[in-house]
Amino acid sequence: MITTILDGKKTAELVRNALLAPIAQLIQTGHTPGLAVVLVGDDPASRVYVNSKVKACEQLGIYSQKWALPTETTQAELLELIRKLNEDPRIHGILVQSPPPPHIDEAEVIRHIDPRKDVDGFHPVNVAKLVLEDPSGFVPCTPLGCMELIKNYGIPTAGKHAVVLGRSMIVGKPMASLLVGKAANATVTIAHSRTRDLAEVCRSADILVAAVGKPELVRADFIKPGAVVIDVGINRVEDATAPRGYRLVGDVDFSAVQPLCSAITPVPGGVGPMTIAMLMSNTVKACRQISAG
């Protein structure tokens, strides 16, 4: 079978290029889109993510603020910063990098972000808008990026059986909502750690989205021949031969699965680059909506 490799780098570039004109238009009318990225603590992976988000803003002419707060930052101090950012007219998007240190109540922090500036789409108002299919809401960037990849490659979803592996609020549940919604019209099954006969459930999928966080859990016997496979997982596995002592693998055993499917995302270079591109897209949308009043 000839397999299409769903190229996230290229598709993310298309998304970014499509934002240039709307950004220029907003700037012309005195509304430069602005994103505040808040990092609490010194988790190295979070630091990398935050820096790449700020860099992506710079490349597009989006104003950005990076708040790198010490691990000891209290809940009250963090909520006070969120309050200030909610009121700052230069800021249209607020993102608190996950995971924060254990003493921070992340759900409470998210509830304090103005839903109009919640470009991660985690606030309960935006979760509700996704389920209600209200287009003014913000959809979490990773599932939004998966849908953009699917759309960009012209992959049909209507009437197809989509299996979403994972039920997190960040990926699995919003992905299932998008697939079952009226724009995609798929028939959706959500599978998770308690699902019985996981391989068999996955084998019934025309579209399989893996968001589990378990290296190469999805093997060849999980795949219906011709299926489309979207691998959201980013897992570090030790590899003494790699320059950093580890390599990145997805939730899918790529070399075993790829020959069976009609299309598949690589890791890295698949869903990962889409996430940041969709964050830029959500920030521009927030600026447009807030400036329109």
* Residues labelled as active-site residues: 53, 97, 120
Q: Considering beta carbons, is residue 26 or 96 the nearer one to ligand NAD?
A: 96
Beta bridge partners, 249, equal 235
Interface mask (CB under 6 A) for ligand NAD, residues 274-293, using x and -?
A: -x------------------
Sequence-separated (6 or more) residues with CB below 8 Å from residue 33: 23, 26, 62, 63, 92, 93, 283, 284, 286, 287
State which of residues 272, 277, 281, 290 lies at the interface with ligand NAD (CB under 6 A): 272
Alpha helices (H) along 90-226: 106-112, 124-132, 141-152, 172-180, 198-203
CA gap 181, 193 in Å, rounded: 24
Residue 269 contacts ligand NAD per CB under 6 A:
no
**At its nearest, how many Å lie between ligand NAD and the CB of residue 29?**
32
Residue 230 contacts ligand NAD per CB under 6 A:
no
CA gap 65, 92 in Å, rounded: 11
**At its nearest, how many Å lie between ligand NAD and the CB of residue 242?**
18
CA gap 265, 252 in Å, rounded: 10
**At its nearest, how many Å lie between ligand NAD and the CB of residue 264?**
14
Both tokens of 204, joined, read 């019934």
Residue 11 contacts ligand NAD per CB under 6 A:
no
CA gap 281, 56 in Å, rounded: 11
Alpha helices (H) along the chain: 8-28, 44-60, 75-87, 106-112, 124-132, 141-152, 172-180, 198-203, 254-257, 271-291
Which DSSP letter does residue 272 get? Answer: H
**Nearest residue to ligand NAD, using CB?**
168
3-state secondary structure of 214: coil
Residues in binding contact with ligand NAD, number by CB under 6 A: 24
Interface mask (CB under 6 A) for ligand NAD, residues 86-125, using x and -?
A: ----------------------------------------
State which of residues 9, 214, 224, 247 lies at the interface with ligand NAD (CB under 6 A): 214
Q: Considering beta carbons, is residue 23 or 234 the nearer one to ligand NAD?
A: 234
- Per CB under 6 A, contacts with ligand NAD among 160-199 are 165-168, 170-172, 192-193, 195, 198
Binding region for ligand NAD (CB under 6 A) out of 113-121, 228-236, 252-260, 280-288:
228-236
Beta bridge partners, 238, equal 246
**At its nearest, how many Å lie between ligand NAD and the CB of residue 173?**
8
Residue 213 contacts ligand NAD per CB under 6 A:
yes
Residue 211 contacts ligand NAD per CB under 6 A:
yes
Give φ, ψ of 95 to 5 degrees: -135, 125
Residue 203 contacts ligand NAD per CB under 6 A:
no
State which of residues 97, 126, 142, 281 lies at the interface with ligand NAD (CB under 6 A): 142
CA gap 33, 271 in Å, rounded: 24
Strand 263-264 relative to strand 228-231, pairing: parallel
State which of residues 52, 65, 235, 262 lies at the interface with ligand NAD (CB under 6 A): 235
Residues in touch with ligand NAD (CB under 6 A): 142, 165-168, 170-172, 192-193, 195, 198, 211-214, 217, 232-235, 271-272, 275
